[in-house]
Amino acid sequence: MEDIQVITQDYVNVHITKSDAEDTPSVERRFKKSITVADFKTKLELVTGGNAKTMKLKVYDQKNNFVCDIDNDNALLGSYPIDDGMRIHVIDKFTLVKDFEASDSTERLGKYNEEEMNKMKEQQQKELEEEAKLADAVLVGARCEVRVPSQPPRRATVKYNGPLEGAKGLWIGVQYDEPRGKNDGSVSGKRYFTCPPKYGGFVKPVYITVGDFPEETFDLEDEI
């Protein structure tokens, strides 16, 4: 009997909501399945303003049905039944958000002190370094597939790799095979590459998969 190998994606795209703002839109993020739940909670501190030590996580499917609790800090995120498009609801007191709102005060009312703020900065720096590693693997001219949460996959060619004026971190400029982009290779009046209108786009490196992706062709006989 031949060996059967199950291959899953290394990342999962999810929507993040929190208990103190249930009426506001969710935030879309992409996470490695190989990180521990403890590391995942630390990353969620930056997204929600919650505390990794006290937050509780609940998973809901795309139809808003409860799936499970994420309750083992030592387990891998990928060990839970979380698929693209699902929602992770964070329950906490979110004292860090209150601290930010009261930043003009000489005293912090929340439990986050200078040590916690330094921890946040270190985590942000770590994420920027991880983003740089992902960007290093994306070469201009390579074929790729763009997989942004809540959007269908789009095939493209890499046209730019680097920073954008006024934007944080590194970005990958692509020319899509179809007019499914947002620009022509320019952003806010500055040009980074040239392509036809609506064929260009800029996405974060985490949403780029480089590989042998032939240009998609469509048989006109199949459409009237």
Same domain, 159 and 212: yes
Q: Which residue, 101, 175, 99, 102, is CA-closest to 144?
A: 175
- The whole-number pLDDT of residue 22 equals 62
Q: Please indicate, yes or no, if residue 205 is contained in any of the structural domains.
A: yes
Same domain, 164 and 213: yes
Residue with the bigger pLDDT between 161 and 206: it is 161
Q: Please indicate, yes or no, if residue 125 is contained in any of the structural domains.
A: no
Q: Please indicate, yes or no, if residue 2 is contained in any of the structural domains.
A: no
Task: Characterize the bridge pairing of strands 143-146 and 200-203.
Answer: unpaired
Please report which confidence band the pLDDT of residue 8 belongs to, taking 50, 70 and 90 as the band edges.
Answer: low
Q: Please indicate, yes or no, if residue 176 is contained in any of the structural domains.
A: yes
Q: Look at the chain and count its residues.
A: 224
Provide the domain limits for residue 47: 11-112
CATH of the domain at 96: 3.10.20.90
pTM for the model: 0.55
Planar angle of CA 217, 222, 224, nearest 5 degrees: 115
Q: Please indicate, yes or no, if residue 123 is contained in any of the structural domains.
A: no
Q: Which residues pair with 70 in a beta bridge?
A: 57
Q: Please tell me the total count of domains within the chain.
A: 2
User: One-letter amino acid identity for 189?
Assistant: G
Residue 221 has pLDDT above 70, yes or no: no
Same domain, 107 and 187: no
State pLDDT tens for residues 153-179: 999 999 999 999 988 889 999 999 999
Tell the burial category of 208 from Cβ atoms under 10 Å away from its Cβ (0-12, 13-18, 19+).
buried
Same domain, 21 and 85: yes
- The whole-number pLDDT of residue 171 equals 93
Residue 44 has pLDDT above 70, yes or no: yes
Domain C-terminal end among 56, 91, 112 = 112
- Measured in whole angstroms, the distance separating CA 217 from the mean position of its chain's CA atoms is 29
Q: Over range 199-224, report the average pLDDT.
A: 78
CATH of the domain at 190: 2.30.30.190
Tokens 């003009």 found at: 104
Same domain, 21 and 100: yes
Q: Over range 107-129, report the average pLDDT.
A: 68
Same domain, 149 and 77: no
Same domain, 201 and 147: yes
Same domain, 104 and 173: no
Q: How far is CA 171 from CA 60, 76, 91, 147, 201, in A?
A: 30, 28, 32, 14, 10
Domain C-terminal end among 70, 92, 112 = 112
d(CA 209, CA 212): 10
Rg (C-alpha) for the chain, rounded Å, is 20
